């Protein structure tokens, strides 16, 4: 299994450069024959009232000119063509929305039409044809899966029921860090492992134990990273569907290997749980796996829930709850270490609310407004998905007065909206205080603040795990900052350069040295 994962990792070679070579080669082959097509297409485009944008090259459109930092490139193009603009990527029309007004029109006024997803090949392969929540385009199916997931796992009451598990894993992280005090810790790795352990406990409880549990957790970590890397690769197969069978960049091949691994481990876990028998769990709190298996068995459920749906939902939750949340917390730690006065204010707030002879509990979180502002400011500057998950209209529609045809890929540049100088004062500066003043309600759904702040999207396809991401980010950050002081290794400096992909990460992983700061040393044991 490890050899298979290494082979997948070896296949992933610098995606933007790889894509550039491919599209330039294709251009040489087809440019002459496509010149006439391009002229006819451009005239047709102008006549249809599509959003303005660069003309691009015959057949390939703007594919050869894409930069790795797409969200930044789209900001520059929006300055030239407007907040609703379009560009051709192969045969695919890509529309980019870069303003609160455009986001509001799309996610509220025309929410039903734009609730569909433009599913890339990589997502279709890893989700077995989008049999889950995030990429599913069957309205009845994704509504039902979303409802079950929220009701049984992600509602406030259900999530509270798993607090003992969260507390156990967070306390374990504190103990493990204590053993590493005075040494260099890769912050993102420590956060990811804690989140992964926590999520696997919530999903399937004690179905796996001991060495098997450790090994599966370790392998899942590698797989999650590879899934998000491949989802972020600009893939020629998505933009020129006629070339998809060739899989020129081997994205589908890599994702198929990852899908086989995920299927194998999830099938084993499900079979093990089924073979345990219902009597085995009598008197115990159900984990999410048992809840879903009960729904599969129910004949009266709204829609037939299959084992493939169960595996798809599990994969959705594991990927979304670990990689994106880890990234957010790592950015928050980096920003606070870059601005020590911010970290000091957070720790002073924690000392006042929790004290130095007790451990952080989730009940403390509502009384930590400054830490809440730090998390919100982190998500403003570093939204986990800077271009959101791509939408696609289910029928011909409009945005900003422009025609949006069926089949278009529509992106919302949340990164651009969050750094718009007409909305935010000193938009590139990390200032948590901005979320503590003013009249606007800075919640996460966008509708209450005029869609100026949408780190989790909005509307019916907004992130299903907002509560989980918010609660876990706050709880883990509060615990780490309350339990330890943090400093950079000698000679190191904070590097806030972004690593580009579907998930916004730090290009240089954050490393830091923890030292204990609590007066009660029993809290570390």
pLDDT digits (tens, 9 = 90+) for 395-441: 999 999 999 999 999 999 999 999 999 999 999 999 999 999 876 67
| Neighbouring residues of 446: CB distance < 8 A, sequence distance ≥ 6 | 103, 104, 107, 452, 453, 454, 457, 458
What is the percent of the chain with per-residue pLDDT over 70, rounded to a whole number? 87
Is 55 a residue whose pLDDT tops 70?
yes
What are the structure tokens assigned to 122, written together?
A: 């990589």
* CB atoms inside a 10 Å sphere around CB 99: 22
> Which band of pLDDT confidence, cut at 50, 70 and 90, is reported for residue 375?
very high
Cα dihedral angle (234, 235, 240, 241), rounded to 10 degrees?
Answer: -140
3-state helix, strand, coil in the chain (%, to 5): 60, 10, 35
If DSSP codes are grouped into helix, strand and coil, which group holds residue 205?
coil
Q: Residue 17 maps to which CATH number?
A: 1.10.630.10
Average pLDDT over the chain reads: 88
Q: What does the pLDDT read at residue 206?
A: 64
- In this predicted model, what pLDDT tens digit does every residue of 67-91 receive, in sequence order? 999 999 999 999 999 999 999 999 9
- Which range scores top for mean pLDDT: 42-56, 197-211, 418-432, 490-504? 418-432
Least confident of 32-46, 104-118, 193-207, 382-396: 32-46
Domain that includes residue 421, residue range? 2-524
Q: What does the pLDDT read at residue 392?
A: 98
* Structural domain count of the chain: 1
How far apart CA 308 and CA 266 sit, in angstroms, is 10
The reply, when asked if residue 181 is annotated as ligand binding, is no
Q: What does the pLDDT read at residue 6?
A: 40
Is 8 a residue whose pLDDT tops 70?
no
CB 389 within 8 A of CB 457: yes
Buried b (16+ CB within 10 A) or exposed e, 144-176: bbbebbbebbbeeebbeebeebbbebbbebbee
Task: Annotate 131-192 with three-state secondary structure.
Answer: CCCCCCCCHHHHHHHHHHHHHHHHCHHHHHCCHHHHHHHHHHHHHHHHCCCCCCEEHHHHHH
- Which range scores top for mean pLDDT: 110-124, 218-232, 297-311, 489-503? 110-124
CB 523 within 8 A of CB 175: no
Whole-structure pTM value? 0.89
> Which band of pLDDT confidence, cut at 50, 70 and 90, is reported for residue 200?
confident
Is 302 a residue whose pLDDT tops 80?
no
Is 35 a residue whose pLDDT tops 80?
no
Is 523 a residue whose pLDDT tops 50?
yes
More confident residue, 19 or 354: 354
Phi–psi pair at 512, nearest 5 degrees = -155, 165
How far apart CA 306 and CA 295 sit, in angstroms, is 9
Q: What does the pLDDT read at residue 466?
A: 94
């Amino acid at each position: 299994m490890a050899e298979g994962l290494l082979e997948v990792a070896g296949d992933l070679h610098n995606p933007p450069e790889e894509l550039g070579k491919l599209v330039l080669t294709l251009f040489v082959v087809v440019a002459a024959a496509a010149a006439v097509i391009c002229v006819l297409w451009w005239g047709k485009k102008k006549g249809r009232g599509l959003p303005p944008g660069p003309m691009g090259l015959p057949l390939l459109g703007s594919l050869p000119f894409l930069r790795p930092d797409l969200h930044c490139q789209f900001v520059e193009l929006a300055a030239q063509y407007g907040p609703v603009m379009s560009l051709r990527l192969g045969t695919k029309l890509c529309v980019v929305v870069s303003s609160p007004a455009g986001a509001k029109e799309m996610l509220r006024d025309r929410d039903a039409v734009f609730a569909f997803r433009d599913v890339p090949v990589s997502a279709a392969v890893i989700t077995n044809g989008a049999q889950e929540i995030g990429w599913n385009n069957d309205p009845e199916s994704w509504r039902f899966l979303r409802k079950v997931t929220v009701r049984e796992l992600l509602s406030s009451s259900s999530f509270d029921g798993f607090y003992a598990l969260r507390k156990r894993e967070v306390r374990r992280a504190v103990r493990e860090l204590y053993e590493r005090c005075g040494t260099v810790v890769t912050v993102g790795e420590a956060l990811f492992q804690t989140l992964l352990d926590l999520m696997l406990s919530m999903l399937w409880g004690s179905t796996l134990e001991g060495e098997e549990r450790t090994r599966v957790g370790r392998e899942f970590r590698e797989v999650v990273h590879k899934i998000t890397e491949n989802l972020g690769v600009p893939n020629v197969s998505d933009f020129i569907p006629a070339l998809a069978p060739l899989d020129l960049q081997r994205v589908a091949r890599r994702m198929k290997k990852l899908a086989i691994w995920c299927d194998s481990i999830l099938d084993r876990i499900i079979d093990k749980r089924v073979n345990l028998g219902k009597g085995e769990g009598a008197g115990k709190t159900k984990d999410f796996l048992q809840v879903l298996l009960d729904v599969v068995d129910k004949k009266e459920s709204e829609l037939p829930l299959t084992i493939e749906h169960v595996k798809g939902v599990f994969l959705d939750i594991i990927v979304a709850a670990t990689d994106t949340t880890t990234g957010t917390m790592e950015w928050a730690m980096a920003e606070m270490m870059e601005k020590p006065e911010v970290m000091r204010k957070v720790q002073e707030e924690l000392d006042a609310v929790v004290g130095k002879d007790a451990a952080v509990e989730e009940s403390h979180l509502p009384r930590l407004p400054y830490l809440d502002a730090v998390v919100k400011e982190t998500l403003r500057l570093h939204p986990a998905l800077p271009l959101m998950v791509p939408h696609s209209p289910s029928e011909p529609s409009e945005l900003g007065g422009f025609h949006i045809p069926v089949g278009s890929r529509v992106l919302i540049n949340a990164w651009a909206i969050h750094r718009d100088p007409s909305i935010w004062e000193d938009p590139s500066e990390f200032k948590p205080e901005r979320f503590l003043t003013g009249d606007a309600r800075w919640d996460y759904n966008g509708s209450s603040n005029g869609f100026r702040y949408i780190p989790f999207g909005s509307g019916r396809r907004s992130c299903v795990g907002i509560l989980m991401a918010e609660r876990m980010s706050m709880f883990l950050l509060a615990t780490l900052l309350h339990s330890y002081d943090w400093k950079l290794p000698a000679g190191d400096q904070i590097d806030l350069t972004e690593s580009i992909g579907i998930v916004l990460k730090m290009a240089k992983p954050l490393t830091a040295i923890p030292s204990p700061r609590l007066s009660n040393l029993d809290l570390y044991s």
